[in-house]
């Protein structure tokens, strides 16, 4: 009998901890502000742009008065994120320090540089891609090759710059020949992406391509169906869209990606986050 009571006490404590954590992040079903808005509200503004696709109606986005806004917006580096990672530049520096001269998977044997990430440690908007390519491997910076230049144009068309957002990949070292990362490589590297995002605590994440979208959203849905549909990563509104490398091969996809990015801009506006420059129409 006392075992059952102990178990119940433990379960209740775990549930309370999780609830508090979810509220802190403005996660599903736990309003963290007085008037929560949903991604569905943002999508409704676009008047059925993706009416045939499933909508993340249950996804709550904390409003500008919430703790999340203070952390994810213009704000100060305050508090301690989940995974015990300090928020902002200090947290990113600690994650990078922990990564060190990483030898945790075989990709360390062929890489030239670890490609950690670049941008504003307090960015409201974070772009997550798959893995570095050849140019990125040489320069140690994500998205600097042809696909990266296209991503830069997309960011600038939104009214941001590379300095005002943050850009990183799921995998920090280049897979030889740009092959897809192996599951053990993902398993070894993904914890550092999680810690990176815990330090950044952005308002919105854009998942670039199938790999990043599947990794962040824990789904196998094809990117052609997934893109343009809001999901959440750890309570953070996440928009999957096509990878810029795909757009170089399939330019007709640019129109759809721009739709997705306009949806991101609308969501950020709802959260009180405006780009520094006007977005292009
Ligand atoms: S891919 Fe990630 S886990 Fe593997 S060696 Fe590079 S930094 Fe370490």
Which residue ranges make up each domain of the chain? Answer: 32-270
Question: Does pLDDT of 281 surpass 90?
Answer: no
CB neighbours of 115 closer than 8 A, spacing ≥ 6? 132, 136, 137, 140, 141, 142, 169, 172, 173, 174
Contact by Cβ (8 Å): 7, 36: no
Ligand 1 atom 1: residue of nearest CA: 173
Average pLDDT of the chain to the nearest whole number:
79
Chain segment 181-234, per-residue pLDDT in tens? 999 999 999 999 999 999 999 999 999 999 999 999 999 999 999 999 999 999
Residue-level pLDDT at 84: 82
105 in contact with ligand 1, CB cutoff 6 A: yes
Is the minimum distance from the CB of 234 to ligand 1 under 6 angstroms? no
The alpha carbon of 15 and the centre of ligand 1 are apart by a number of angstroms equal to 34
Ligand 1 center to 42 CA (angstroms)? 37
User: Tokens 């991101």 belong to which residue?
Assistant: 264
Express each pLDDT in 21-74 by its tens digit: 333 333 333 333 322 334 444 444 344 343 333 333 333 233 222 222 222 222
Ligand 1 neighbourhood includes 168 CB (under 6 angstroms)? no
Hey, whose CA ends up nearest to atom 4 of ligand 1?
105
128: Cβ contacts below 8 Å, ≥ 6 apart: 168, 169, 170, 193, 197, 205, 206, 207, 208, 212, 216
Q: What is the pLDDT of residues 69-116, one digit of tens each?
A: 222 222 222 334 456 889 999 999 999 999 999 999 999 999 999 999
The per-residue pLDDT for 27 is 33
pLDDT at 6 over 70: no
Fold observed for domain 32-270: Uracil-DNA Glycosylase, subunit E (3.40.470)
C-alpha 102 to ligand 1 mean position (Å): 6
> CA-based angle 99:103:106, to the nearest 5?
130
Q: How far is the CA of 64 from the centre of ligand 1 (A)?
A: 36
Q: Decide: 107 in ligand 1 pocket, CB within 6 A.
A: yes
Please name the residue whose Cα sits nearest to atom 3 of ligand 1: 189
For residue 189 and ligand 1, the question of a CB distance below 6 A is answered with yes
């Amino acid at each position: 009998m006392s075992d059952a009571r102990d178990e119940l006490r433990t379960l209740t404590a775990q549930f309370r901890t999780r609830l508090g954590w979810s509220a802190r992040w403005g996660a599903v079903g736990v309003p963290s502000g007085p008037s929560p808005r949903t991604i569905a509200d943002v999508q409704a503004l676009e008047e059925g742009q993706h009416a045939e696709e499933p909508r993340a109606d249950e996804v709550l986005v904390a409003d500008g008065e919430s703790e999340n806004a203070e952390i994810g917006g213009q704000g100060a580096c305050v508090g301690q994120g989940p995974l015990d990672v300090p928020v902002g530049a200090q947290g990113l520096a600690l994650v990078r320090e922990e990564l060190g001269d990483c030898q945790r998977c075989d990709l360390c044997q062929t890489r030239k540089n670890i490609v950690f990430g670049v941008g504003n440690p307090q960015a409201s908007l974070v772009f997550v891609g798959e893995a570095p390519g050849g140019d990125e491997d040489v320069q140690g910076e994500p998205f600097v090759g042809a696909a990266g230049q296209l991503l830069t144009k997309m960011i600038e068309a939104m009214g941001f710059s590379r300095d005002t957002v943050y850009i990183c990949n799921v995998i920090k070292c280049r897979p030889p020949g740009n092959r897809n990362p192996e599951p053990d490589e993902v398993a070894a590297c993904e914890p550092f992406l999680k810690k990176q995002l815990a330090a950044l605590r952005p308002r919105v994440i854009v998942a670039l391509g199938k790999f990043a979208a599947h990794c962040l959203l824990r789904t196998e849905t094809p990117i052609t169906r997934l893109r343009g549909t809001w999901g959440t990563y750890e309570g953070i509104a996440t928009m999957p869209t096509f990878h810029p490398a795909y757009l170089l091969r399939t330019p007709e996809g640019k129109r759809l990606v721009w739709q997705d990015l306009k949806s991101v801009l609308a969501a950020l506006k709802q959260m009180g986050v405006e780009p520094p420059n006007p977005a292009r129409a």
